[in-house]
């Protein structure tokens, strides 16, 4: 099983982040943050504009983020992980991993700690490994579309159901494209969360008439060790018996050739004794 350092249940209440998400693309930043972000961008050459924009967008979220923490609107631990996922998602196109890890994430962590609510003592930003990021991206896509369904339920009607069916179809496609990663004996955190999503999705029965939406595929059966066929077993037994026969035959030949010198010695000994006796 692959190592999983991330938590995979961080998107289960993604709908609570809609307000924070809406401020995520704002470019408004105070003078201090703008100067800091411009300086940070100097380390990234052609990627500087992307770094500067991402930096400003991220830091300006903290006023809304802190308010939501005070109101207990979001979970402290999960919200840190969601923020880190967003930052990783925004920077995935930048191919400069050394500077991202050694400069960007370290510096952004320290800058963020100056702005984040003091009740969060372990706020940390870091690069998520590609394999784990890709699995988190799958879960994010599932919950993002699922909660779009929940949001549209408030005004159910013909046109609304048509839109809900689009979201359901997207959920089904993402799920079916990835359930093969989770055979029934897989106990990974990712597969556990994929199963949790399936339960939520199956329990959602609004606008059930969506003929274009495929059923969710079952998990593949657990992978069994490959068994030998009857013919392979017979061939193996035949080779083992042949080897045993050859070994036995070899021992017999060795025994026969070992007896000859013994009898020769006895015969010579008797001859010498008789010669001396009659002499």
pLDDT of residue 250: 46
* Burial (CB count within 10 angstroms: exposed 0-12, middle 13-18, buried 19+), residue 130: exposed
Please state the rounded mean pLDDT for residues 245-263: 48
Contact criterion met (CB below 8 Å) for 75 and 7: no
Residues 27 and 73 in one domain: yes
Residue 172, domain member (yes or no): yes
pLDDT of residue 66: 95
Residues 120 and 188 in one domain: no
Residue 249, domain member (yes or no): no
How much of the chain exceeds pLDDT 70, in percent? 76
The residue with greater pLDDT, 204 or 250, is 204
Is it the case that residue 247 has pLDDT exceeding 60?
no
Mean pLDDT of the chain: 84
Contact criterion met (CB below 8 Å) for 103 and 124: no
What separation, in Å, do the N-terminal and C-terminal C-alpha atoms of the chain show? 90
Is it the case that residue 145 has pLDDT exceeding 60?
yes
| Domain of residue 181, residue span | 129-222
How much of the chain exceeds pLDDT 90, in percent? 58
Residues 111 and 161 in one domain: no
Contact criterion met (CB below 8 Å) for 51 and 40: yes
The CA–CA distances, whole Å, from 184 to 12, 42, 189 equal 22, 49, 13
pLDDT digits (tens, 9 = 90+) for 40-99: 999 999 999 999 999 999 999 999 999 999 999 999 989 999 999 999 999 998 876 788
Query: 213: which DSSP letter?
Result: S
pLDDT of residue 212: 92
Count of Cβ atoms closer than 10 Å to residue 203 Cβ: 7
Please state the rounded mean pLDDT for residues 146-170: 80
pLDDT of residue 273: 58
Residue 122: pLDDT band by 50, 70, 90 thresholds?
Answer: confident
Looking at 196, 222, 248, the residue that finishes a domain is 222
Rounded distance between C-alpha atoms, residue 181 and residue 64, angstroms? 37
- The whole-model pTM stands at 0.77
Residues 148 and 211 in one domain: yes
Number of independent structural domains in the chain: 2
Residue 204, domain member (yes or no): yes
pLDDT digits (tens, 9 = 90+) for 210-242: 999 999 999 999 766 555 555 555 655 555 555
Residues 16 and 45 in one domain: yes
Residues 206 and 98 in one domain: no
């Amino acid at each position: 099983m692959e190592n999983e350092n991330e938590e995979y249940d961080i998107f289960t209440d993604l709908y609570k982040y809609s307000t924070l998400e809406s401020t995520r693309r704002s470019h408004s930043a105070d003078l201090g943050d703008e100067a800091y972000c411009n300086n940070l961008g100097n380390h990234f050459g052609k990627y500087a504009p992307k770094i500067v924009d991402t930096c400003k967008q991220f830091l300006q979220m903290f006023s809304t983020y802190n308010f939501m923490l005070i109101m207990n609107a979001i979970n402290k631990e999960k919200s840190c992980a969601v923020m880190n996922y967003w930052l990783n998602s925004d920077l995935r196109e930048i191919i400069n991993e050394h500077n991202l890890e050694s400069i960007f994430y370290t510096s952004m962590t320290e800058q963020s700690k100056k702005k984040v609510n003091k009740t969060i003592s372990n706020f940390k930003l870091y690069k998520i490994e590609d394999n784990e990021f890709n699995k988190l991206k799958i879960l994010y896509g599932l919950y993002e579309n699922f909660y779009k369904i929940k949001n549209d339920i408030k005004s159910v009607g013909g046109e609304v159901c048509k839109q809900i069916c689009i979201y359901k179809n997207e959920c089904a496609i993402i799920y079916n494209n990835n359930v093969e990663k989770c055979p029934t004996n897989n106990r990974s955190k990712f597969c556990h969360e994929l199963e949790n999503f399936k339960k939520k999705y199956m329990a959602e029965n609004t606008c059930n008439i969506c003929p274009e939406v495929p059923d969710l595929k079952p998990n593949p059966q657990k992978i069994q060790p490959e068994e030998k066929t009857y013919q392979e077993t017979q061939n193996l037994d035949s080779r083992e018996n042949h080897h045993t026969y050859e070994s036995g035959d070899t021992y017999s030949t060795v025994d026969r050739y070992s007896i000859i010198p013994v009898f020769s010695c006895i015969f010579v000994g008797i001859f010498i004794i008789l010669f001396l006796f009659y002499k």
